[in-house]
Amino acid sequence: MASSSGSRSLAKGPRVDTFVMPPEKHVSVESHELKLAIKNRLELEDRDVFEDLCKLMEGVANFDFFDLKDRMRNNFLPFACGARNSIFLQRSSKSLPTTAVLDQKEAEFIADVYEVLRASHYTLLTKEEWDLATQENFNLNLPMEVNWDYMDPSLLHKFWQSSPERRAIRANLPDCMADRILVFHRGIGTEKLSGLLIDQKLDLLMDYTVFEALDRLRDPLQQLLSKVGLVKKKTQEEAKADQAAEAAADAAAAAARLSAHGGGAAVQMYHYKGNTMVGSTHKFARSVQRKTLALQCPTLLTLLKAFTTKMELQEPTFKDIIVVYRRA
């Protein structure tokens, strides 16, 4: 996980030191490697039978998804031809698809991709996961800004508004990307970075000195500006209204998360135990410890003492990621 806005963390929410994630529900090995490993354990006379069994199972799986694969291929074909600047061939008796037909094909294709990935145990990136990913730097130090305008929001906006279930799922996604890009992830891994980490330490030093001082000055400065009339101070009624709206939004998101969760869940649910983010209580759940610079050097003094010391950072990562968007 890495911040996309430089060293300064703008994310909200509790600090998380440990993740407890559900066990993987898929075999993360290429099918030919898995078959070869099993085949090598069999007696010679059983290997041909095993090959036939594999072909039968693959045939059954292909049969179950035949209609879906055929529909996805047909719906995507006009757009694939356009991307390749090639002619979309139709029977002579049929005219070119209208705008309404193309819109329908787009909607069906996105819905099919969404369902296929859910069936493959992928889940959508949630607000919690996005906020957590932007809390601290890891090995990304250059300030970055995503150009969301590069992605067309109209297609996914229609998709989310097409059913109450999808609107419930949309409530749990980051607002900056929900209508522009679908980010699916599956599995969890770890990424490590070791060395003197001078750049990261300088970034954290800025946080502990310059930015922390600015944070302390923010409230007194706002009070001063409100007194001289340069900043309008919120009334008690406005503050209460803001708190009520935030509480209502949190409650709606929690209810939406419950309605969106289940078999083939669209989003991953979490709860917190202290500084541990728990996504599963399964006995084979995987625990990953964060080793960030801020956790290892929680104060300015400990940071200065460790400035010339080699250190190792560790962050959880998503093992597989698939993104779906349409260019604006």
Query: Which DSSP string do the residues of 209-270 spell out, in sequence order?
Result: IIIHHHHHHHHHHHHHHHHTTSSPPPPHHHHHHHHHHHHHHHHHHHHHHHHH-STT-SB---
| pLDDT single digits (tens) 50-61 | 999 989 988 888
Specify the pLDDT at position 142: 55
> What is the average per-residue pLDDT within 40-67?
88
pLDDT at 183 > cutoff 90: yes
Give the range among 166-175, 180-189, 228-237 with minimum mean pLDDT: 228-237
Specify the pLDDT at position 254: 54
Residue matched to tokens 């009334």: 235
Tokens of 304: 């200065």
- pLDDT exceeding 70 applies to what percent of the chain? 76
Is the Cα torsion angle 33, 287, 269, 175 positive or negative in sign?
negative
> What is the average per-residue pLDDT within 302-321?
90
Give the range among 23-32, 200-209, 304-313 with minimum mean pLDDT: 23-32
> What is the average per-residue pLDDT within 187-196?
88
pTM here?
0.72
* Spatial distance between the Cα atoms of 245 and 289, rounded to a whole number of angstroms: 35
- Predicted confidence band at 125 (pLDDT cuts at 50, 70, 90)? very high
